[in-house]
């Protein structure tokens, strides 16, 4: 008897010592598909896309539609997979082509929207994440009725329609510089762009922002990929998990990202870029208690707590992108955003690999508590440090500006006195 008998005689196989079933929703195999197979390729591809956008004047709207269409085809092919390695390859392909979307969309929006409205615009763009996440759980009825393959095929059909709509409706904006009086930008050589991007990321506040965003991203991904398995294991399948998870992220996430964008845009007009960090710190620390409630309360209270965690905790994504884009020169915005996405996905995309080992040492509930709300608290701490450093730098800049102004006034006074003395002397002569 060997492990292939599992498919034909499950009970018998489970009693056999040579057989094991490691394809559960919290297994290493699943975490590889959810994490490195997708996220690492996503991170590398987003970095390359950003560099290409900075080097060449490409038609971004056309590229966006092509990437979306290719993603749709690969999603459809996932439904035809019969082996684990086949699904692994399609996940890698999905990571490559999905990665292009955010640098392309971010670059387009940075040319359409001014800095003061960019937080709301990026927040609105982030709505797609929550609608997509909700649709994944809403598609349960398709999977139950027609099988798991139709889950991929239905997503492929919908995304194909969206990719064509994007091609027909999204217009290429003029590439302009916020701080260059609207003049068109000139492309720089590759090494100059790379040097400029790396120099920007040597700023300690920006590095801390990336680490914090990576931890926050990781906590969110741990929950996204393991939420259903968590509720099924701890509360069986009698709580309508799919129903709750189909609308809670959509409602809570939509309110959260839009509110975060509006609040941060309002603050940035008065206090500057560092004020966006206030929103990031607040949303992480406010959401953490609700996340613990989600893990330790029983349904439906767990889902109510989850709703509030989305409202308070999902302000971060568009706001963090806005901060990253405002801390690099506008002419390298695409490359800067791509490097930001690369860093946060490399950090956050691999956190879920810790879950199986941590679960073995403790329990699923404890492991989720460490990696889910725990990541939020650590992220908030890094955002706080970044905000403090930005404030200190801003105060130093203000002091230096005041000193320079006083020096200029003294020089001007001296010049005026000199001119008066010269005039007096000429009169005496």
Q: What integer pLDDT is reported at residue 44 of this predicted model?
A: 84
Number of Cβ within 10 Å of residue 29's Cβ equals: 14
DSSP string for residues in 308-367 = HHHHHHTTHHHHHHHHHHHTS-GGGHHHHHHHHHHHHHHHHTTGGGHHHHHHHHS-HHHH
pLDDT tens digits for range 162-191: 999 988 888 887 765 544 444 444 555 666
**Closest to 210 measured CA to CA, from 360, 388, 359, 343:** 343
For each of the domains in the chain, give its residue range(s) and CATH number, in order of start: 28-175+186-398 (1.20.1250.20)
Q: Which two tokens stand for residue 172?
A: 């290429």
Query: Cα dist. 63→49, 102, 116, 165, 271 in Å?
Result: 10, 12, 27, 14, 37
pLDDT tens digits for range 87-145: 999 999 998 888 878 778 877 887 787 766 776 777 777 777 777 777 777 777 788 88
Global confidence as pTM: 0.70
Q: What is the DSSP letter of 218?
A: H
**Closest to 254 measured CA to CA, from 101, 117, 124:** 124
Q: Which two tokens stand for residue 394?
A: 């801003």
Question: 12 falls in which pLDDT band (50, 70, 90)?
Answer: very low
Q: What integer pLDDT is reported at residue 115 of this predicted model?
A: 67
pLDDT tens digits for range 387-420: 898 878 766 554 443 434 444 444 445 555 544 4
When pLDDT is averaged across residues 34-62 and rounded to a whole number, the result is 77
Burial class (CB within 10 angstroms; exposed 0-12, middle 13-18, buried 19+) of 286? middle
Q: Which two tokens stand for residue 231?
A: 């509720």
Query: Cα dist. 121→63, 167, 304, 319, 322 in Å?
Result: 21, 20, 28, 10, 10
- Look at residue 176 and give its three-state secondary structure: strand
| Positive/negative CA dihedral, 23, 361, 224, 39 | negative
Number of Cβ within 10 Å of residue 81's Cβ equals: 16
Q: What integer pLDDT is reported at residue 294 of this predicted model?
A: 93
Q: What is the DSSP letter of 173?
A: P
pLDDT at 375 over 70: yes
Q: What integer pLDDT is reported at residue 190 of this predicted model?
A: 61
**Phi first, then psi: what are they for 363, rounded to 5°?**
-160, 165
Element (H, E) at 239: none
């Amino acid at each position: 008897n060997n492990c292939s008998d599992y498919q034909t005689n499950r009970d018998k196989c489970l009693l056999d010592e040579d057989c094991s079933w490691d394809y559960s929703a919290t297994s290493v195999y699943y975490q590889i598909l959810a994490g490195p197979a997708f996220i690492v390729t996503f991170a590398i591809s987003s970095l390359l896309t950003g560099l290409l956008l900075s080097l060449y004047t490409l038609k971004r709207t056309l590229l966006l539609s092509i990437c979306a269409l290719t993603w749709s085809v690969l999603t459809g092919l996932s439904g035809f997979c019969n082996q684990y390695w086949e699904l692994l390859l399609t996940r890698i392909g999905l990571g490559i082509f999905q990665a292009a979307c955010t640098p392309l969309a971010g670059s387009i929006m940075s040319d359409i929207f001014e800095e003061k409205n960019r937080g709301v615009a990026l927040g609105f763009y982030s709505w797609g994440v929550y609608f997509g996440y909700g649709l994944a759980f809403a598609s349960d009825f398709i999977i139950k009725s027609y099988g798991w393959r139709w889950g991929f095929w239905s997503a492929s059909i919908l995304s194909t329609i969206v990719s064509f709509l994007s091609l027909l409706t999204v217009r290429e904006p003029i590439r302009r510089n916020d701080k260059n009086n609207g003049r068109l930008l000139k492309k720089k050589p590759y090494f100059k762009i790379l040097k400029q991007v790396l120099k920007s990321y040597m700023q300690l506040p920006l590095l801390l922002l990336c680490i914090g965003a990576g931890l926050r991203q990781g906590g969110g991904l741990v929950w996204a990929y393991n939420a259903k398995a968590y509720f099924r294991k701890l509360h069986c399948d009698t709580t309508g998990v799919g129903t709750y998870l189909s609308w809670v992220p959509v409602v809570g996430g939509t309110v959260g990202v839009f509110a975060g964008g509006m609040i941060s845009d309002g603050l940035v007009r008065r206090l500057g870029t560092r004020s966006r960090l206030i929103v990031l710190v607040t949303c992480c620390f406010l959401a953490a208690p609700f996340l613990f409630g989600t893990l330790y309360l029983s349904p439906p209270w767990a889902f109510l707590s989850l709703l509030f965690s989305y409202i308070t905790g999902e302000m971060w994504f568009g706001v963090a992108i806005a901060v990253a884009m405002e801390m690099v020169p506008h002419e390298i915005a695409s490359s800067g955003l791509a490097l930001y996405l690369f860093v946060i996905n490399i950090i956050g995309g691999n956190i879920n690999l810790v879950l199986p080992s941590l679960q073995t040492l403790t329990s699923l509930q404890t492991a989720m508590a460490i990696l889910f709300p725990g990541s939020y608290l650590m992220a908030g701490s890094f955002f706080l440090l970044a905000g403090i450093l930005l404030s200190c730098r801003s105060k130093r800049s203000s002091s230096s500006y005041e000193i320079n102004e006083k020096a200029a006034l003294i020089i001007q006074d001296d010049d005026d006195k000199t001119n008066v003395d010269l005039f007096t002397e000429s009169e005496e002569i």
